[in-house]
Chain A
């Protein structure tokens, strides 16, 4: 019974994939028309890499600060970080980008779209990272903290030598996964007119009157970035399992 179901499923899935690839392969791509735009596409890909890499660094800083805030003994710090995280996690990124760009960046008279894009992405990803970091820190068993106190470590030494090193190992896989999300989420920045990869692909299609041709390279361009991260994440998870 089980094997029959598995076979049916495999056949259905196989057929679906075959049909999908048939569509991809038989589509009239007009590659020749896309070709002159390859420089733009490449430049856009470069902007995506640069925006994501910068946002990655900034989001780690924001995430760490929010985690410290959420675990802080000072209640306004706790309350504010919590509120921030809930607001970010409760609204779509697109809405945040629109509000951030037209309201906040405008009011602050920020000029550089690149810089605004980095800030918006990092503000978003930082909230998710802080939840991952907090989970990692809270997962450190009480017995570890007891042991640290028993050997005479102070509170900050306990964090430095016992809690943080173990928490970092635990959150690395999830953090790497979050960075892959960040790269994909950067595609939404086309709405503020940042000339990143997705925006270049849309413009290429618009200019060449081809509705689809540039989107295949687009997908591949993102996969080139996310697949290695995904592979690395899995390696980290395996290593962590082995260590404990």
Chain B
């Protein structure tokens, strides 16, 4: 994965969600994990990388392209990525199948038959063959996230961005969604994800970045064994305690 941030600052009013962040993902990394306390800037970093937001300062490079600031180029960038939010990804007025078909039809310009074929295949892959014609309100939280994940990968994105994909789910549903993500990782999909599931981050990520107060505090998978910063040690020991 080619992802690089140089001097990236993002302000929301007075608060800096990200403060002059420099980050270069090492060569060979396919899955990048973002961890850290709530409000640390994980979502902001992912939204910037996904082209949903523009930084107030600095440059972001994804896959060799420096992200532009104009809406048309950013829309092009978004079309090359998949993005999954914590919840409410699906459109409630469409069935699961229609949700997955929408970007294939409208963005990729596929014919209805092609789009349907591809959408069904993705949903089947994530075990949703029985729920094709159900609307989000009729699906469980885990099924909703899997359907949204199917939609995000249907157009074969270059980079898949997952922002706390299981934080709104109970443990059983969390497991079923993590299984699907793990499978995607095994298949070689490039993924950036933020998560509070430390065990999962440790298992699937090739590289991890610890963000707090809008800064990169420490990076590298060695932090799970021996973090250099006390803040990271404290955070990890607290979340891994139970």
Using CB atoms and an 8 Å cutoff, list the residues of chain A in contact with chain B: 141, 143-144, 146-155, 157, 161-162, 165-166, 169, 243-244
Contacts of A155 in B (CB 8 A): 71
User: Is the Cβ of B88 less than 8 Å from the Cβ of A144?
Assistant: yes
Contacts of B71 in A (CB 8 A): 155
Q: How far is the CA of A162 from the CA of B106 in the complex (A)?
A: 12
Chain B CB count within 10 A is highest, among A152, A165, A244, for A152
Q: Does B122 contact A (CB under 8 A)?
A: no
Using CB atoms and an 8 Å cutoff, list the residues of chain B in contact with chain A: 50, 52, 71, 75, 78-79, 83, 85, 87-93, 102-103, 106-107, 135, 137, 151-152
Contacts of B87 in A (CB 8 A): 143
Q: How far is the CA of A146 from the CA of B52 in the complex (A)?
A: 8
User: Is the Cβ of B135 less than 8 Å from the Cβ of A151?
Assistant: no
The contact of B50 among A144, A150, A243, by CB within 8 Å, is A150
The contact of A169 among B78, B83, B88, B93, by CB within 8 Å, is B93
The smallest C-beta distance from A16 to any residue of chain B, in angstroms, reads 44
Contacts A166-B92, A244-B92: A152 and B75 contacting too (C-beta < 8 A)?
A: yes
Q: How far is the CA of A154 from the CA of B106 in the complex (A)?
A: 10
9 closest residue pairs by CB, A with B: A152-B79, A150-B83, A143-B88, A151-B103, A152-B107, A152-B78, A165-B93, A147-B89, A166-B93
Contacts A153-B107, A161-B106, A243-B137: A147 and B85 contacting too (C-beta < 8 A)?
A: yes
User: Is the Cβ of B106 less than 8 Å from the Cβ of A153?
Assistant: yes
The contact of B107 among A143, A151, A162, A166, by CB within 8 Å, is A151
Q: How far is the CA of A146 from the CA of B92 in the complex (A)?
A: 14
Contacts of A157 in B (CB 8 A): 106
Contacts of A141 in B (CB 8 A): 88
Q: How far is the CA of A141 from the CA of B103 in the complex (A)?
A: 20
Q: How far is the CA of A153 from the CA of B103 in the complex (A)?
A: 8
